[in-house]
Amino acid sequence: MNAISFVHEQLTATKEYPKFKAGDNVTVNYKIVEGNKERIQSFKGDVVKIQGVGFTATFTVRKISDGIGVERTFPFFSPNIDSVTLNKVGKVRRAKLYYLRQRQGKAARIKEKRV
């Protein structure tokens, strides 16, 4: 089992992301393949949750697009993720921010942590 994990670590390229947690505002740039063309699209929103350990770890980002909430889950070790940029650090007291799904407008805002 140890040899399998060693080979898996050697074959997968580890990516460096900034440290972020639930409540932070991030921009995820990911690759989209359309036919034979490939382009990079950005998804900017608040991190709702981070779950999993190791290669199964994922994070969910939520944004409001034309008044409709859109959530997207990204695997940390996906080859389609180009980069992750940390925009704001949020001040929250929970690890999973599911309550944002019922909030609208100003009630759905997350306070920014002062540094």
Asked if residue 9 is part of any domain, the answer here is yes
Q: Three-state secondary structure along 18-52?
A: CCCCCCCEEEEEEEEEECCEEEEEEEEEEEEEEEC
Q: In total, how many domains does the chain have? A: 1
Contacts of 62 (CB under 8 A, 6+ apart): 45, 46, 48, 69, 70, 71, 97, 100, 101
Backbone region of residue 111 per phi and psi (left: phi > 0; alpha: psi in -120 to 50; beta: other values): beta
**What's residue 33's pLDDT?**
93
Asked if residue 66 is part of any domain, the answer here is yes
Asked if residue 57 is part of any domain, the answer here is yes
pLDDT tens digits, one per residue of 61-111: 999 999 899 999 999 989 899 999 999 999 999 999 999 999 988 999 999
Q: Which of 28, 5, 33 is nearest to 75 (CA)?
A: 28
Asked if residue 62 is part of any domain, the answer here is yes
Question: What is the domain range of residue 7?
Answer: 3-103
Asked if residue 80 is part of any domain, the answer here is yes
Cα distance between residue 51 and residue 9, in whole Å = 20
Asked if residue 71 is part of any domain, the answer here is yes
The model's confidence at residue 2, banded by pLDDT at 50, 70 and 90, is: confident
Asked if residue 108 is part of any domain, the answer here is no
The model's confidence at residue 30, banded by pLDDT at 50, 70 and 90, is: very high
**What's residue 10's pLDDT?**
74
- How much is the pTM? 0.84
Asked if residue 12 is part of any domain, the answer here is yes
Residue 48's CATH number: 2.30.30.790
